[in-house]
Structure 1
């Protein structure tokens, strides 16, 4: 007979009265295991057990609705239900069981057989049945207990399988997201680099913030940091696309407006809808390390720290709009004198938009400057400075930040 297609239904529903619905698959409705007889036996066990009877798998598929929790399959089916060339009592009966398991992967299945067929009954459990019952030992209590045990075991197996699949998926996603985080290309440069990254989404490794740093053949160090509006996986994916595009274009020799115009085209083609935009800050540090060309596209200005001087924000009133807002725009650059020794801190607004205390006051750029100035006085720099800054921002916020956060620092020691 044809093999029914596997059902894609969700796990069986729980009935309001706590009862169960049993689907009996047997070929003889007038036999000792007919529906009314089973109903009489199980009715003595407490909560009701409803019975449906099917003569073959075709009828079983029709009767297998979402309110059926358990299937009782009689292994002693006649030859007509066996594949051609196989007799009843052999492997064909377990083939029928396999067909039932494919038809109802989320349902508990009990195998029914004679006591003389104990070996075949045990094999049925190895194939996938939750348990087996001997026909001659059945009574209401045994059958009711076996049905409820099989249903609970199937639910536990299903929950464990879902948990395992979720863990494997989370591990795969974590490996993928870690692989998408940048690895700065600074071979041959004397500049030191450090970064901290925290996505706002719960249990995620990537957010809409992105950053990267590369050194080109002429000795220029190019750094950038950006922020795609929004916090979902689509924004995170777009941030990765923009970062990779920026690296490829930078290594190919593009810079300035030409690079940002091309990035804007990438964003316009890849974003989910026209309201999506991205802010960006780029810094091209000259080979000597004493000057930089800074461009702002709707992004907060970097913070410059020099030894013995208070940290200062670079000017940000002459920047251009965020990427994706205006067509045919330009982003002017500002030449910045860095000096002999310095640290340049670039960040997203997640660092400055956290709350301070229980009220609604935000940290802001002024609060960030004070925070960094205090930590620099304590002798912190590089990795230690970023770790201390992010930790204090979280503490001031009273817990994890809701927005994505990215911070990078490039510094040059005294010569």
Structure 2
């Protein structure tokens, strides 16, 4: 049962909220006889509808919190397409033009301008009016859903482009130094809380960093991007290497959202002659010294292990100096490759021994991109995409080739 009523202002409760099929309808019509005829048609249509009436366009503009508008094009304060355009610009929902005009051009113009349908009063019955209202509301809802989907898609694409822009490109002039990087975000995105960077200094030495912000999600990803950017900025400002971790910790404490957030990191300084490295550890896994000529890969030999950044404990980050000779390859990584579980073995993780096995098998195959092969094999062991962020950096030097 429909009812045409006139309200001085929109009610707080517009219809019965328990009726899921209720259509909230605004009739914009100044003629009482035509309004009564619409009421009869709506009653014949059997729609679940609550109808409000506006006599002027000015009144209608203030009452558009409805599902559908029935609009007469001949109103005291507006005529023709101007009335329709004004309503649409004001944010009207589905609009069905119901008018006495019988010319085809007006109907085409109305639909082209944004109306969902165009009906002639003298040619309408209850079934036609009810069907037009239902279809108009459904089409409008589909259009709104499509717009929201497009908006979400565009936002997702912009997020991906933004995150890709935050992933660094190694700033290396020495083309003889091997530099391979790989990155996978555990979250639904490109960027995670892990980070990496490689920069060559003015004296010819090379600094490499991998780090891991504890936790997962967009906040950790943002913090990781901040720390990576801060590190590169400090490096380019020629900050002494021994001061990088203390300053990075200050940035972390300043930018983190919660006091329990900490970051682990490892940093390597490759000497200008490429024969030795200085290793700095802040609660992070020890890099690998990759095997050559069939020799097994091992952890870099070091006893220097500083605390994680952001943990309120005493302790500095002292460097471990390691002589590597004329030929070597190092792999720095975050714990995403260690903590990945092995498919079919419950909670068993790959761990350091498993990673060493993966790396040696990859080295035996002599791939062109060792990092990608290692990440692929770790994912295969896990049985799918990794749930934790992962960053891997390989540095290599062959003195014989370099000469």
**Fold shared, TM-score > 0.5 on shorter chain:** yes
Tell me if structure 2 keeps the 8 A contact 1:279–1:297.
yes
The residue aligned with 1:162 is 148
From 65, 68, 71, the counterpart of 1:70: 68
Comparing 283-292 with 263-272, greater Cα deviation is found at 263-272
Pick aligned residue for 2:287 from 302, 323, 336: 302
2:356 corresponds in structure 1 to 369
Q: Is the 8 A contact 1:297 1:323 kept in 2?
A: yes
**Is 1:217 aligned to residue 219 of structure 2?**
no
Question: Residue 304 of structure 2 aligns to a residue in which SS?
Answer: coil
TM-superposition CA deviations, 1:214-272 (whole Å, max 9, x none): 11111101101001112212211211111111112112222333111111111111112
Alignment check: 8 A CA contact 1:39 1:50 kept: no
**What secondary structure is seen at the aligned counterpart in 1 of 2:199?**
strand
Aligned match of 2:331: 345
Q: TM-score, normalised by structure 1?
A: 0.86
C-alpha separation in 2, matches of 1:14 and 1:394: 50
2:354 & 2:17 partners in 1: Cα distance? Answer: 55
Out of 4, 23, 27, which is 1:24 matched to? 27
Map 1:8-407; keep pairs closer than 5 Å. 16-28=19-31, 30-34=32-36, 37-57=37-57, 59-60=59-60, 63-65=63-65, 68-78=66-76, 81-82=77-78, 89=79, 93-105=80-92, 107-202=93-188, 204-308=189-293, 309-315=295-301, 317-326=303-312, 329-358=315-344, 359-380=346-367, 383=369, 385-407=370-392
Q: What SS is found at the alignment partner of 2:35?
A: coil
Q: Distance in 1 between matches of 2:99 and 2:43?
A: 22
Shift of 1:178: 1.5
Cα drift, residue 114 of structure 1 = 2.0
In 1, Cα distance between equivalents of 2:260 and 2:350: 27
CA distance in 2, matches of 1:149, 1:14: 21
Q: What is the deviation of 1:310?
A: 1.2
Deviation at 1:42, TM superposition (A): 2.7
For the 8 Å contact 1:223–1:282, the answer to whether it is kept is yes
Measure how far apart 1:13 and its partner are.
11
- Residue of structure 1 in register with 2:8 after alignment: none
Distance 1:206 1:399 in 2: 19
2:215 and 2:82 map into 1 onto residues whose CA distance is 53
Aligned residue pair count:
384
Could you give the per-residue CA deviations for residues 292-341 of structure 1, whole angstroms, max 9, x where no partner exists? 00001111110011413211112465311111113764101101122221
TM-score (norm 2): 0.89
Q: Tell me, yes or no, if the aligned pair for 1:13 and 1:69 is still in contact at 8 Å.
A: no
- Whole-angstrom CA distance in 1 between matches of 2:203 and 2:20: 77
1:327-377 Cα offsets, whole Å, 9 max, x none, are: 764101101122221110000011111001231111111111111122212
Alpha-carbon distance in 1 for matches of 2:182, 2:16: 47
Q: Secondary structure at the match of 1:279?
A: strand
Structure 1 unmatched runs, 5+: 1-11, 83-88
Per-residue deviation, 1:378: 2.7
- Give the distance between the partners of 1:274 and 1:13, measured in 2 at CA: 49
Offset at residue 279 of structure 1 (A): 1.0
- 1:189, distance to aligned residue in structure 2 (A): 4.5
Q: Is the 8 A contact 2:57 2:75 kept in 1?
A: no
- Kindly indicate whether the alpha-carbon contact (under 8 Å) linking 2:277 and 2:321 is maintained by their aligned counterparts in 1: yes
**CA shift for structure 1 position 96:** 2.9
2: CA distance, partners of 1:44 / 1:351: 68
Aligned-residue RMSD, C-alpha: 2.2
Q: Is the 8 A contact 1:306 1:341 kept in 2?
A: no
Is contact 2:45–2:129 with CA below 8 Å preserved after alignment? no
